Amino acid sequence: MDFSKFEDQLGIFFKNKGLLQMAFTHRSYINENRKGTFEHNERLEFLGDAVLELICTHFLFNKYPDKTEGDLTSYRSALVNAITLSEVASKLGMNEFLLLSKGETKDTGRARQYILANTMEAFIGALFLDQGYDVTEVFIKKYILSLIDGIVANKAWLDAKSFFQEKAQEIDGITPSYTVLKETGPDHDKHFTMVVSIGREQVATGDGKSKQDAEQAAAAAGLKAKGWL
C-alpha cells in the first residue's frame, strides 16, 4: 500500500513508513496474509488512545478553567468516542488505506465505523512514535479538538443515555430499553452492539468495548435519529 497520497494530504511525512502501514493494518488482514511481515495495529491503538486522552485532557483543562471535573470528562468523552473518531477518520480519507481481510472489506456498516475509530487511535500512536509529542498535538488540535465548540454549542457532550431517556419520557411517555444485538471478540477484547428501543420501535444501534459504551453510542445515535439534539 502506497501511503504517499495520505501523507501529502496531511503534510506529515513519516520517517518510519512501517509504523504508518502498521497503523492501518487490521488483525483480520494478518490472518489472511500470514506469510507477510506485517504487524497489526492493536498495540499502536493502545498507545494512541492514551496519547489522545492526555492531549485532550490538557487542552480542555486550559480552555475551560471554570468547568467542573464532570463537565470536562463529558467534553472529553464526546471528543474521543467511536462516533467522533470514525467521522474524523472518514473525512481524512483513512477508509481508502485500510488493510483488511476480504470479509471485513465488504462490511461498510457499524463494524467499519469501529475499525476506523481504532485506526485513528493507532495512527495517533504511530505519529507520536515517529514525530513526537508536539506534531501529534498539532494534528489532534487541528482535526479533533477543533470540534469542541460545536459539541458544546449542540450539547453533544451531555450524557447521551440520560438525555435520551429524558426526551423519550417527555415526548413519548416511555422509558427506553437497551438490548444486545451482537457480542464479538475474545474475553479480553469484547465488542458489543446494542439497540435502543422506545416501546416496539428500534430507534438506533451503537457499538462499544463494553455494554455501557455501546448503550451510550446507541443513545447518541438515537438522539440524532429523533432530531432531539
32-42 pLDDT, tens per residue?
777 766 789 99
Position 155 scores a pLDDT of 73
Q: In the predicted model, what is the mean pLDDT of the chain?
A: 90
pLDDT score of 24 more than 90: yes
Compute the half-sphere exposure of residue 106: CA atoms within 13 Å on the CB side of its CA.
Answer: 2
Mean pLDDT, range 61-90, rounded to an integer: 92
Lowest mean pLDDT among 75-89, 136-150, 153-167: 153-167
Q: What is the pLDDT of residues 134-148, one digit of tens each?
A: 999 999 999 999 999
In the predicted structure, residue 205 carries a pLDDT above the cut 80? yes
Give the C-alpha separation, 31 to 28, whole Å: 5
**Three-class SS state of 205:** strand
For domain 160-226, give the fold.
Double Stranded RNA Binding Domain (3.30.160)
Domain 4-153 identical in fold to domain 160-226: no
pTM value is: 0.74
Report the C-alpha gap between 6 and 92 in whole angstroms: 8
pLDDT for the residue numbered 120: 97
Is-contact 183 205, C-beta < 8 A?
Answer: no
Burial 145-181 (b: 16+ CB within 10 A, else e): beebeebbeeebbbebbebbbebbeeeeeeebebeeb
Q: For the chain, which residues make up each domain, given as ranges? A: 4-153, 160-226
CATH architecture of 4-153: Orthogonal Bundle (1.10)
Q: What was the pLDDT predicted at 29? A: 86
Alpha helices, DSSP H, located in the chain: 4-10, 17-23, 27-32, 42-63, 69-80, 82-91, 102-106, 110-131, 133-143, 148-153, 160-171, 211-226
What's the mean pLDDT in 161-178?
A: 93
Rounded to an integer, the average pLDDT of 3-29 is 94
- Cα–Cα distance, 59 to 1 (Å, whole number): 34
Active site (catalytic) residues:
49, 121
Contact by Cβ (8 Å): 76, 56 = yes
Lowest mean pLDDT among 5-9, 153-157, 207-211: 153-157
For residue 57, give Cα distances in angstroms to 131, 134, 146, 181, 208: 20, 15, 14, 33, 21
